[in-house]
Structure 1
């Protein structure tokens, strides 16, 4: 797959990793449809980069079905789905105020894991309609995990569980979709300079950046986008989770 021939839907594209990926893909010739709940910012970014936007709730089947159909009509087809939508929550299993709120755990898993699977399964159905390339390729799905899936810290039970689920479904989903010629990959980012992190005090950001062995800095969202593009273009990558973390192993 060449990026110039790619038609991608990107969830969570109104900010952070999703926005960076949308900008990166468009700058290199891909057609892009942004999916997000933030209508104002999503439309603004789409207008700025020459892309399309659809208001989307990744946890809702009807919303995602409509979004994918709209993207197909706008771009002609869908060949790539990049899942960046997600939320981060923090609570200990047993904290000062009592047990971890169950609704917070459910919501985190619902958005990060169920939402990603919802988009992936519906995107797969659309991608499977494409005419195959000579090698049988029809498209690719890239989900976003996290290094928290492997070494989650205190207070990350819900978040780490949701991202661990992304890791766990990568290989079986890839195996499920071999007949359709659809590859499935996951990226596990470390600590990135996203709007969520930039809201922390500078001293905290500096401390987090210093934890990385090399380079001792926060990840740049465009580095995530560049890896996503490489995955799209490298047809032999399939069924794997790639850590993108500067060798960081969280204590």
Structure 2
């Protein structure tokens, strides 16, 4: 699918991997709506790329519906959905004091990363399937963001790994389900990337993390994630696949 002139939605587009993805799509000519729970971050990225900033909480159907309607009014129906919004969090099942992890902590990560992403998928896909088919019957592309934690979850990452593992497992059935309408689905599972969260770590900690990556021995660049996301849109035969983007990293238990 061509990016030039095509309307795109980027959740979590106000920072990190989402911001880099919004920039890359805009660079290649897409009309980008930047959706983020942080309106200031969304506005900053949107100003930079000439896009549209929309405050959006992906766990809220009402918030998503309002954002999709505003994006549609400004750019026309979206054929591209980049699901990058998500949260982290690390907590052991049993704490040092012997108490169990609060179930609310587990639910929150699942609700944002898994349920929230599916919420965006179902609402955006419902609009995509009504669009006029393009070449080869294509109507849309959905790209989700998982993590290598889906495969190599570390101690304390039970909630995060489960949420990202859910996205990995969703990819193929979603692609099969939406194939009848010409909507493709793929997922990127990034490793250690130099996002704002890692930027806050001391330099020696960053270097230690980078040393664990076989090659190249550095943290991933958000632009590399964005380039892959854009390639998935352009490559019409990429469908139902989860792609690890991690420099051959396999995470240790801790």
Q: Same fold (TM over 0.5)?
A: yes
RMSD value, Cα: 0.8
- Once residues 41 and 82 of structure 1 are traced to their aligned partners in structure 2, the CA distance between those partners, rounded to angstroms, is 17
Q: In the TM superposition, what whole-angstrom CA distance separates every residue of 1:139-169 from its partner, at most 9, and x where no partner exists?
A: 1000000000001111100100000000010
Q: In the TM superposition, what whole-angstrom CA distance separates every residue of 1:80-131 from its partner, at most 9, and x where no partner exists?
A: 0000000000001112032112111100000000010000110101111210
> What is aligned with 1:10?
10
Superposed displacement of residue 41, structure 1: 2.0
> What is aligned with 2:68?
68
> What is aligned with 1:36?
36
- Once residues 206 and 6 of structure 1 are traced to their aligned partners in structure 2, the CA distance between those partners, rounded to angstroms, is 39
Q: Which runs of 5+ in 1 are unaligned?
A: none
Instruction: Give runs of ≥4 in structure 1 deviating > 4 Å.
Output: none
> What is aligned with 2:190?
189
What is the SS of the residue equivalent to 1:78? coil
> TM (normalized to structure 1)?
0.98
> What is aligned with 1:144?
145
- Using the TM superposition, name which of 11-20 and 99-108 deviates more: 99-108
- Once residues 216 and 82 of structure 2 are traced to their aligned partners in structure 1, the CA distance between those partners, rounded to angstroms, is 26
- Once residues 201 and 158 of structure 2 are traced to their aligned partners in structure 1, the CA distance between those partners, rounded to angstroms, is 21
What is the SS of the residue equivalent to 2:215? coil
1:151-230 matches, cutoff 5 A: 151-230=152-231
> What is aligned with 1:93?
93
- Once residues 101 and 158 of structure 2 are traced to their aligned partners in structure 1, the CA distance between those partners, rounded to angstroms, is 9
Q: Which runs of 5+ in 2 are unaligned?
A: none
- Using the TM superposition, name which of 39-48 and 238-247 deviates more: 39-48
- Once residues 202 and 103 of structure 2 are traced to their aligned partners in structure 1, the CA distance between those partners, rounded to angstroms, is 29
- Once residues 166 and 36 of structure 1 are traced to their aligned partners in structure 2, the CA distance between those partners, rounded to angstroms, is 19
